[in-house]
């Protein structure tokens, strides 16, 4: 299968390219230097010349606070850029995978009284974004679904990957430096390992079962729980983390409170992801940072 990956220089794009190549696909990797997705004519020409079987559209502006400062640019890149890729793919008969976000939801899910069950969003629950980034990704979803009938909408959350800096790296670097850590307890989602997401997407494009998918590591947690687990497993169990609320950590963008996602559609086609705890341990082991439990 010939697969085009946009945003191939990004963390997820690099992971997807490697995974798909390993799986034996012919992959064309496009980054911002080779394709400006906001330019419809260029996108149409590039994808038209390549004639792929599938376009995986991972190109995006993922600076959530930056999107809050410039919401029009957010929609241009994340919304209309996705439309350009979807239309260009449709013209050559290619399917498209659009990488979306948990932040298309408002996060107003609440704990079911006396049940201990943390509610999660299912694939066809109604999106209601509350910030510019979430809105731009929702526009992208709508644009893709209206432009190419052979589409997979893949929502994910809280990606962590090797190389560069992510939430786990930030926490570990601060702990190593002896800095005081303060992490919010009222922002909940699914930490997701990019290697697991790439494997899931590689499996999904083989199914031709188009629709909306929540491809996240299983179970949701708060930012504080995510940080605590990563530090504990990396040997920093004695490092304290202050519990704070989102109000105590002001930022340009307002993150939704509870956007845990359920992977119902993926499971229906045989695609499941391990727990976020197991994924964190796999990530730390790959980085050489996992502290093994004593026998």
Given the residues 121, 133, 193, 229, the one annotated as active site:
133
- Known active-site residue 133: yes
- What is d(CA 69, CA 92) in angstroms, rounded to the nearest whole number? 36
The strand pairing partners of 145, in sequence order, are: none
Which tokens in the block code for residue 165? 């800096």
- What is d(CA 231, CA 240) in angstroms, rounded to the nearest whole number? 10
38 burial via Cβ count (<10 Å: 0-12, 13-18, 19+): middle
Which stretches of the chain are assigned E, i.e. beta strand? 2-6, 26-30, 54-57, 95-101, 151-156, 159-160, 181-184, 188-189, 192-193, 211-214, 221-222, 241-244
- What is d(CA 68, CA 76) in angstroms, rounded to the nearest whole number? 13
- Beta-carbon contacts of 169 under 8 Å, excluding residues fewer than 6 positions away, are none
Which active-site residues does the annotation give?
A: 133
């Amino acid at each position: 299968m010939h697969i085009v990956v946009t945003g191939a220089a990004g963390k997820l794009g690099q992971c997807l390219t490697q995974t798909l190549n390993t799986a034996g696909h012919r992959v064309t990797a496009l980054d911002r230097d080779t394709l400006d997705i906001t330019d419809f004519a260029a996108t149409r020409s590039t994808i038209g010349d390549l004639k792929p079987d599938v376009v995986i559209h991972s190109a995006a502006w993922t600076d959530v606070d930056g999107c809050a400062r410039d919401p029009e640019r957010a929609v241009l890149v994340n919304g209309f850029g996705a439309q350009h890729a979807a239309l260009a793919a449709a013209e050559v008969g290619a399917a498209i995978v659009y990488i979306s976000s948990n932040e298309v939801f408002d996060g107003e899910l609440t704990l079911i009284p006396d049940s201990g069950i943390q509610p999660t969003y299912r694939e066809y629950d109604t999106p209601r974004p509350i910030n510019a980034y979430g809105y731009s990704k929702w526009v992208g979803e709508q644009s893709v679904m209206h432009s190419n009938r052979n589409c997979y909408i893949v929502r994910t959350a809280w990606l962590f990957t090797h190389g560069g800096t992510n939430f786990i790296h930030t926490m570990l670097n601060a702990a190593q430096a002896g800095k005081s850590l303060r992490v919010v307890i009222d922002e909940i989602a699914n930490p997701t390992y990019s290697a697991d997401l790439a494997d899931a997407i590689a499996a999904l494009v083989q199914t031709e079962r188009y629709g909306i998918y929540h491809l996240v590591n299983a179970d949701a947690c708060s930012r504080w729980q995510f940080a605590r687990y990563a530090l504990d497993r990396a040997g920093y169990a004695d490092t304290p983390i202050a519990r704070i609320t989102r109000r105590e950590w002001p930022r340009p963008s307002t993150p939704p409170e509870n956007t845990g996602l359920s992977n119902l559609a993926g499971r229906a086609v045989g695609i499941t992801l391990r727990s976020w705890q197991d994924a964190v341990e796999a990530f730390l082991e790959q980085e050489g940072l996992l502290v093994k439990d004593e026998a």
